[in-house]
Amino acid sequence: MEDCIFCKIARGEIPSAKVYEDDEILVFKDINPLTKIHLLCIPKEHFKTVAELNEQRTLLLGSALKKIGALAPLWGLEEGYRLVINQGEAAGQSVPHLHIHILGGEPLRWEK
């Protein structure tokens, strides 16, 4: 996608504070962190939501979660962290390229 900001980051056209990259995914620091540690994991392939998962993207997402699980302790998240995927504008998705928020580095409240 020409105009997608996360595609531009994946292509290296916009700088980012990368913490991990391979052929399939990129993990970088969120520019406007909501928690002490706030990372974003994106697939390099452009798609917006889990409604667009096909077999290959399903494998990609599972693989991304496995990598996050393996690498999180190296990112300072050994005490625990929260994964969030906002789906659609009404849920707060501002960038239409699927991304997993990785939030932690401090105690996170979870209550109604």
Stretch of 24-32, 53-61, 72-80, 103-111 lying at the interface with ligand AMP (CB under 6 A) = 24-32
Does residue 4 interact with ligand AMP by CB under 6 A? Answer: no
Our CB check for ligand AMP shows the closer of 17 and 55 to be 17
Which member of 35, 49, 63, 93 binds ligand AMP (CB under 6 A)?
93
Q: What is the DSSP code (8-state) at residue 26?
A: E
Residues 45, 59, 77: CA angle, nearest 5 degrees: 85
Strand 37-43 with 25-29, pairing: antiparallel
Q: What is the DSSP code (8-state) at residue 103?
A: E
Round to whole Å and give the CA distance between 58 and 66: 12
Round to whole Å and give the CA distance between 108 and 112: 13
Which member of 21, 24, 30, 45 binds ligand AMP (CB under 6 A)?
30
Does residue 56 interact with ligand AMP by CB under 6 A? Answer: no
Interface residues toward ligand AMP, by CB under 6 A: 5, 14, 16, 30-32, 40, 86, 92-95
